[in-house]
């Protein structure tokens, strides 16, 4: 192999979510294998599509958050439990929270996304989130408390009618007793604006069956510990709901370490070209929720993250061997949504199916093809390892 200066240091992957973990694993399968360092602050992988089952008690925490060691042992990938805080793309080095500097031959930023509060007053202080197992534990406690408390009519509000908000509204309705009303709020004029029509229709039925109150074209103005102020843009009217629990699923924003590079200005957005290289930086790549592209609006989901990981690993090997790089083309494998306990909807590979059978198939797909005991490892592996 030709020895390049950019080959003598490790390939570093920042972030061990769907994108970063898949990249590290794909790189580890290449021959010859480069030295690979994965930097990730957490000890366990989070399989987010199964957080609803963790909330309902259908799965346990360790099943949806398998330790990284279960994926990485014996694969020649070094794992550092740390966080990347800044990158110098000119010197090809990065700095971590614990103060260590690493020089990289290629760096893949796969630092994901976080909840976007849109600077709306009260969200940060009073809303519950739904992204980590800690968030799920807090929500579980709140649901238990509400189910046990008596007195006036109780109310749970979910803001955001994208897939997380809709899936959560169905699951939460099944977990709360009949006396507690569930409200779903969204600025858009439809639920699930980016989802397949069949799944949209099935979700509408599932929400109706559970008597979820849907407020569309409705914007959140502010919220407090007990109430939420809203404006309905269709009726041009302001109204207030009192709540006992408010969950915010209304948007995400990219997580980007600070980046110094001569020719680019990385501000709010980490822009990549079709090769997934950060614009103007040959040895810096970005994938998954953390990356965006000017023309192609790739959805922020695990499918895109995993497909980009496979390509970025191939492109890095190509770059190190002076071969040409390939463009990223997203292939939509279809979509599965959990719609409450024992219920789901699937629209994939020409199949449209809803109900208990769809729930079983969704689970089976997640459980597929990994011969280890933890459901989380099996399910995550079906995505991450692609086997």
Residues lying near ligand FAD in the complex (CB under 6 A): 14-20, 39-42, 48-49, 51, 83-84, 110-113, 130-131, 164, 255, 257, 288-290, 300-303, 305
Select from 47, 228, 51 the least CA-distant residue to 140: 51
Token couple for 49: 């599509």
- Which residue number, 66 or 112, has a Cβ lying nearer to ligand FAD? 112
Residues 6+ apart with CB under 8 A from 277: 284, 285, 315, 325
For ligand FAD, the closer CB: 157 or 309: 309
Measured from the CB of residue 19, what is the shortest distance to ligand FAD in angstroms? 3
Q: How is the beta sheet containing 218-223 ordered, strand by strand?
A: 218-223, 227-232, 237-242
- The nearest distance, CB 234 to ligand FAD, in angstroms, is 29
* Range 203-208, long-range pairs (CB < 8 A, 24+ positions): 203/166, 203/170, 203/337, 203/339, 203/345, 205/354, 206/170, 206/339, 206/340, 206/343, 206/345, 207/166, 207/169, 207/170
Nearer residue to ligand FAD within complex by CB, 104 or 230: 104
- CA 235 – CA 238 distance, rounded (Å): 9
Are 182 and 170 a contacting pair, CB within 8 Å? no
- Closest approach of Cβ 112 to ligand FAD, in Å? 3
**Sign of the torsion formed by the C-alpha atoms of 241, 246, 250 and 251:** positive
Give Cα separations from 224 to 125, 240, 269 (angstroms): 8, 11, 30
Q: Give me 165's structure tokens.
A: 């908000």
Cβ at position 184, least distance to ligand FAD in Å: 15
Pick the closer one to ligand FAD by CB: 107 or 230.
Answer: 107
Q: What is the DSSP letter of 9?
A: S
Measured from the CB atom, is 123 or 255 closer to ligand FAD? 255
Looking at the Cβ atoms of 40 and 343, the one nearer to ligand FAD is: 40
- Which residue, 254, 250, 249, 252, is CA-closest to 271? 254
Continuous segment of H or E residues that includes residue 324? none
The smaller minimum CB distance to ligand FAD, of residues 230 and 300, is found at 300
Closest C-alpha to 60, from 44, 42, 41, 71: 44
3-state secondary structure of 162: coil
CB of 40 to ligand FAD, least distance (A): 5
Q: At its nearest, how many Å lie between ligand FAD and the CB of residue 301?
A: 3
Residue nearer to ligand FAD on the CB measure, 18 or 328: 18
Residue 229 and residue 178: Cα distance in Å, rounded? Answer: 25
Nearer to ligand FAD by Cβ, of 245 and 290: the residue is 290
The nearest distance, CB 300 to ligand FAD, in angstroms, is 5
* Count of Cβ atoms closer than 10 Å to residue 179 Cβ: 13
Least distance to ligand FAD, CB of residue 298, Å: 10
Least distance (Å) from ligand FAD to the CB of residue 92? Answer: 17
Whichever of 98 and 326 has its CB closer to ligand FAD, that residue is 98
Decide: 238 and 230 in contact? Cβ < 8 Å. yes
CB of 42 to ligand FAD, least distance (A): 5
Q: How many helices (H) and strands (E) does the chain have?
A: 11, 21
Evaluated on CA atoms 76, 77, 80, 81, the torsion sign reads: negative
């Amino acid at each position: 192999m030709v020895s390049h200066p950019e080959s003598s240091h490790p390939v570093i992957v920042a972030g061990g979510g769907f994108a970063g973990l898949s990249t590290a694993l794909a790189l580890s399968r290449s021959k010859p294998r480069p030295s690979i360092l994965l930097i990730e602050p957490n000890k366990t992988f989070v399989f987010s599509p199964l957080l609803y089952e963790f909330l309902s008690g259908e799965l346990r925490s360790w099943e949806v958050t398998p330790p990284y060691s279960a994926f990485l042992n014996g694969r020649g990938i070094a794992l550092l439990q740390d966080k990347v805080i800044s990158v110098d793309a000119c010197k090809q080095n990065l700095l971590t929270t614990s103060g260590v500097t690493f020089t990289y031959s290629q760096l893949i930023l796969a630092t994901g996304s976080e909840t976007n509060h849109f600077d709306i007053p009260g969200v940060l202080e009073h809303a519950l989130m739904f992204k980590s197992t800690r968030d799920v534990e807090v929500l579980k406690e709140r649901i238990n408390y509400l189910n046990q408390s008596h007195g006036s009519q109780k109310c749970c509000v979910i803001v955001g009618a994208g897939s997380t908000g809709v899936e959560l509204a169905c699951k939460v309705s099944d977990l709360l007793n009949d006396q507690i009303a569930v409200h779903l709020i969204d600025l858009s004029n439809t639920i699930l604006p980016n989802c397949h029509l069949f799944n949209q229709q099935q979700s509408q039925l599932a929400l109706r069956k559970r008597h979820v109150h849907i407020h569309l074209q409705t914007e959140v103005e502010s919220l407090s510990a007990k109430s939420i102020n809203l404006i309905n843009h269709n009726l041009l009217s302001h109204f207030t709901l009192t709540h006992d629990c408010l969950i915010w699923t209304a948007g995400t924003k990219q997580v980007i370490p600070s980046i110094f590079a001569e020719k680019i200005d990385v501000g709010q957005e980490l822009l990549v070209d079709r090769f997934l290289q950060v614009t103007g930086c040959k040895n810096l790549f970005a994938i998954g929720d953390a990356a965006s592209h000017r023309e192609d609006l790739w959805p922020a989901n695990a499918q895109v993250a995993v497909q980009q990981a496979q390509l970025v690993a191939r492109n890095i090997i190509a770059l190190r061997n002076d071969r040409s790089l390939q463009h990223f083309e997203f292939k939509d494998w279809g979509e599965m949504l959990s719609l409450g306990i024992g219920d789901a909807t699937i629209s994939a590979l020409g199949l449209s199916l809803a109900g208990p059978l769809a729930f079983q198939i969704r689970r089976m797909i997640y459980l597929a093809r990994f011969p280890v005991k933890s459901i989380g490892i099996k399910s995550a592996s079906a995505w991450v390892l692609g086997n």
